[in-house]
């Protein structure tokens, strides 16, 4: 679940927060979205599906400010060991993710999770 300060403002239509992150060593990234379930980001969700990302987790909850939130996690298998991404796949997948979110006015900054965060 992403940390949300508030649900009063979206970063893009239907998106409260987005995180593009990988577990160490940081070659295979997932997309984590906190969305407005009453106004879902259809364009982004369709774009992720077109890129081959699959929804692996979703959880609804009510934020402390009483706004409804739907957390969504997406992963895409690669061709490396344990379905990870090879270097070329990583580069092209991250470029596609950045373009997708750029089309709705969001800049994403891919990051590698800390060990504690990744395996909590």
Ordered structural domains, the chain, with CATH: 15-111 (3.30.70)
How many CB atoms sit inside 10 A of residue 11's CB? 15
| pLDDT band, residue 119 (cuts 50/70/90) | confident
Average pLDDT along the chain: 94
Q: What is the pTM of this model?
A: 0.93
Q: What is the pLDDT of residues 41-83, one digit of tens each?
A: 999 999 999 999 999 999 999 999 999 999 999 999 999 999 9
Strand-by-strand arrangement of the 54-62 sheet: 54-62, 68-75, 29-35, 15-22, 111-112
Alpha carbon distance 62, 11 (integer Å) = 18
How many CB atoms sit inside 10 A of residue 114's CB? 11
């Amino acid at each position: 679940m992403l940390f949300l300060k508030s649900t009063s403002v979206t970063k893009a239509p239907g998106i409260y927060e987005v995180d593009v992150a990988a577990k160490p060593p940081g070659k295979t990234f997932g997309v984590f979205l906190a969305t407005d379930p009453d106004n879902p980001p259809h364009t982004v969700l369709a774009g992720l599906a077109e890129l081959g990302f699959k929804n692996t987790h979703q959880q609804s909850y009510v934020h402390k400010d009483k706004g409804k939130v739907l957390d969504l996690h997406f992963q895409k298998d690669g061709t490396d060991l344990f379905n990870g991404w090879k270097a070329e796949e990583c580069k092209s997948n991250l470029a596609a993710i950045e373009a997708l979110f750029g089309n709705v006015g969001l800049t994403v900054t891919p990051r590698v999770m800390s060990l504690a965060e990744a395996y909590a």
